[in-house]
A and B are shown apart, each in its own frame.
Chain A
Amino acid sequence: MRAIIDIALNDLRIFFSQRGNWISLIVLPLAFTAFLGWAMGREFGSTQVRLDVADLDGGPAAAGLINRLAASSDVIILCPHENDADNVCHLDNGETALTTEQGINRVQRGRSDALLVIPAGYGQAVQTGASAQLDYYSLEDPTQPSPILQTVNAVLQKVNSAVVAQQMDMAMLEALVGTDAGSPLADEKTRTAMAASLQEDAQRLLDSQPDLVIFKSTAPMETSSLDQGFGQAIPGMGTLFVMFTVLGGMVTLLRERRQWTLQRLAVAPLRRSQILGGKVLSYFSLGMIQFLVLFGMGAVMGVNLGGAPLALLAVMTAFVLCVTALTFALAPRMKSEQQAGGLSRLLALTLAPLGGAWWPLSITPPFMQTIGHLSPVAWAMDGFQTLIYNGGGLPDVLTEIGVLLAAAGVLFAIGAATFRVGE
């Protein structure tokens, strides 16, 4: 064991003796993570969605509908009504009302997720029980269920139910007291007031009923945009740069063979497993150092990294072991340092985005999510997201850890069988 540690320490000493390695191990990952964490937090790290409302009616019934929509979900932001000082609605000129054309344009430009048009005469239609058509515009996939549309429909359902209840109540009243002269309902003003009162009561009763389905964010209760952005960027950039660093070990192994230091180890009284173990330990250590620096930065910044640090460490360990094993499985097949360098960069730049290191895999189509899980990054990111976003613990990520360790076992077996020093 002492020889393994001595070999690993020597490799680490050589690695850290080169200034460029400090940049690729520490500086670049920190810079990329900081930038992407900030950008993702502002742009799409938040789970809130923007729903534009073009109120062409402008009456109290339309205002009531807007208020009910606003109260229906903490995820949906009604624009421009709920715009704030940070311009969460992304309004170009600080508009306080939108036209249909403006709303459609914003949806097309991605400024908003959907547009609901409340037509002129909506209030009158509600009052008289006449039909009114509300147009809904969105770039959502029509084959997929839309949580925004479902929320809008739930609110409209209640409004419609109140109208129906009012109409039924009025019909019953008319049947009981009649509409002849002398009847209280013979007076039009009284009828209108009665109808309005009944509708208000019905609406109040319906509003007091609990919603069966409410669109809520799955993010932790106190999640901020900082948490959202860095919760993706830290593990994402971590897995990417760990792959750059650890897969780069292929180049170092070939360089050691070229400069004959590996052969010199082979003629020393050391077992092959000790040499291999030392090399594995050095690159595993570099990967872990890189992960710990990035997660450490997150902790210092106050990013919510979940409540299970040991589970985080377990996912990191399983992922770094898997990538280290991949390095040692591939290295014997490399003919030159140039080939090894090219392959390590290609693998890092392919497996990282494929596995959701650059953006959440959940925003990609289902088939991409399936393909993505060919990459160890996807399993690691699943584990990290379960721990960071969903507040999971070790039992929740055992599957991900198991898959990564199983892959590591197979790849280590291949690497150990093909690791050659002298031939």
Chain B
Amino acid sequence: MDTMVKLRDLSKTYRRSDGSAVEAVKQINLEIYKGEIFSLLGPNGAGKTTTISMMSGLIAPTGGDAFIGGHSITKEPMAAKRLMGFIPQEVALYPELSARRNLLFFGKMYGMHGSDLNKRVDEVLAFIDLTDRQKDKISTFSGGMKRRVNIGVGLLHRPELLFMDEPTVGIDPQNRRRVLDTVKQLRDEYGMTILYTTHMMEEAQELSDRVGIIDHGELIALGTQGELTQQVREEDQIDFAIDGRGWSSELEARLLQEVPGLTRVAYAPPGHGDDSAGEESLAALTAFAARGRQALPDIIRILNDAGVEVHSVKVREPDLEAVFLALTGRALRD
């Protein structure tokens, strides 16, 4: 796969007024491939915005470098910046100007002028579905509409790479859904490479081809969601609601012996398990396996052979929250 972004020992150290140093970002190394959505996931204050700010040339690294399309952000900033669009967490627009005026101005800052610029502004306004409000001042827009213009500015010059720094912060669920759909659309329809920072595990899980988890300025994990859960040896959990009359310790031994990847099972007789399904007369069987969906057919076959009736099955895959918890000992939202 072609590399769009490469970070080499990217670091940022701030000096406090008392002379002490704070390492906001510690020697991050990673590559982001063309056409993928890469999420940088971490709690507030983890160093996501500092990292994306260095990658975009907004702040200078104190160590290492970032390469955008092969161009060093420190040595060839103009070439690197031409390839990228930037959508900051804040609504970075002039509230006194109309949506169209904002788009026109920022388009000029990317070297676009005349009829090309006007045509592109029309396209972007249509894409963000604000053509009918284009002449209204930003100050009169709702939060969601401002976010859409904010995204529109980042798309004006058709960048190959888009940095999105927590673009759903502070907006309602409906507009959040719209932003997430837009991100996927940009990758799927326009082949854009997207670096998406978030502290929301659900967003990273939904959007990302790959995820980097950052905490205290360090990249502590990197990979697809599956790779990350494997990395921390988290197992899938398979919950069965069964007729407990055929259950025995021999059956438990057989399951562990014959089902590949099954590491342990737990049996709770009727009335002692999870009654959330309202099936109080049923027993609860919980099985743990590295790949739950692969183990599931074998478990059901063995239970059927033993005459144990399976009423329901639920597979719970470990999520990024679990990965973060395993890596840091803290919940993502702590």
Residues of A at the B interface (CB closer than 8 Å) are 2-3, 6-7, 10, 13-14, 17-18, 259-261, 263-271, 421-423
Contact = CB atoms under 8 A, between A and B. Distances in A.
A422 B109 contact: no
Given A13-B101, A267-B58, A421-B58, A261 B109 contact: no
18 contacts: A3-B109, A6-B105, A10-B105, A13-B97, A259-B93, A259-B94, A260-B91, A261-B92, A263-B58, A263-B88, A263-B92, A264-B106, A266-B57, A267-B56, A267-B58, A267-B86, A269-B109, A423-B59
A9 B96 CA distance: 14
B246 to A, nearest CB: 64
Contacts of B220: none
Contacts of B91: 259-260
Interface stretch (B76-84, B248-256, B271-279, B310-318): B76-84
Nearest to B82: A269
Nearest to B56: A267
A385 to B, nearest CB: 39
Given A17-B96, A18-B96, A422-B53, A269 B81 contact: yes
B97 A264 contact: no
B190 interface: no
Given A7-B109, A260-B92, A269-B82, 18 more contacts: A10-B105, A14-B94, A17-B96, A17-B97, A18-B96, A259-B91, A259-B94, A263-B58, A264-B86, A264-B92, A264-B106, A267-B86, A268-B81, A268-B106, A269-B77, A269-B111, A271-B78, A422-B53
Given A6-B109, A269-B81, A261 B97 contact: no
B57 A267 contact: yes
A14 B97 contact: yes
A267 B84 contact: yes
A269 B88 CA distance: 16
Contacts of B84: 267
B181 interface: no
B44 to A, nearest CB: 18
Interface size class of B (residues with CB under 8 A): 20 to 34
A390 B273 CA distance: 102
A259 B108 contact: no
B161 to A, nearest CB: 12
B95 interface: yes
Contacts of B53: 422
Nearest to B80: A269
B266 to A, nearest CB: 52
Q: Output the residue of B77, B88, B93, B109 with the most chain A CB within 10 A.
A: B109
B96 A261 contact: no
B32 interface: no
B153 interface: yes
Contacts of A261: 92-94
B90 interface: yes
Contacts of B86: 264, 267
Given A266-B57, A267-B57, A268-B81, A260 B97 contact: no
Contact of B88 (A2, A13, A264): A264
Contacts of B96: 14, 17-18
Contacts of B60: 423
B72 to A, nearest CB: 14
Interface of B: 53, 56-60, 77-78, 81-82, 84, 86, 88, 90-97, 101, 105-106, 108-111, 153
Contacts of B56: 267
A13 B57 CA distance: 28
A177 B320 CA distance: 136
B110 A269 contact: yes
Contacts of A270: 109
Given A10-B105, A422-B59, A268 B95 contact: no
B90 A259 contact: yes
Contact of A265 (B82, B95, B101, B109): B109
A2 B88 CA distance: 25
A240 to B, nearest CB: 26
Given A269-B78, A421-B58, A3 B88 contact: no
A259 B81 contact: no
Contacts of A422: 53, 58-59
Contacts of B153: 264
Given A3-B108, A260-B88, A266 B97 contact: no
A16 to B, nearest CB: 10
B216 to A, nearest CB: 20
Contacts of B57: 266-267
Contacts of A260: 88, 90-92
4 A-B pairs with the lowest CB-CB distances in the bound complex, closest first: A260-B92, A422-B58, A260-B90, A269-B81
Nearest to A17: B96
Contacts of A13: 97, 101
Nearest to B52: A267
A6 B108 contact: yes
A14 B96 CA distance: 6
Contacts of A14: 94, 96-97
Contacts of B95: 259
A18 B94 CA distance: 12
B92 A266 contact: no
Given A259-B92, A261-B92, A266 B58 contact: yes
A13 B84 CA distance: 27
Q: Output the residue of B56, B77, B92, B93 with the most chain A CB within 10 A.
A: B92
Nearest to B113: A2
A171 B214 CA distance: 117
Nearest to A261: B92
B93 A267 contact: no
Nearest to A268: B109
A18 to B, nearest CB: 6
Contacts of A266: 57-58
B211 to A, nearest CB: 24
Q: Output the residue of A6, A259, A260, A264 with the most chain B CB within 10 A.
A: A264
A264 B92 CA distance: 7
Contacts of A6: 105, 108-109
Contacts of B97: 10, 13-14, 17
Nearest to A266: B58
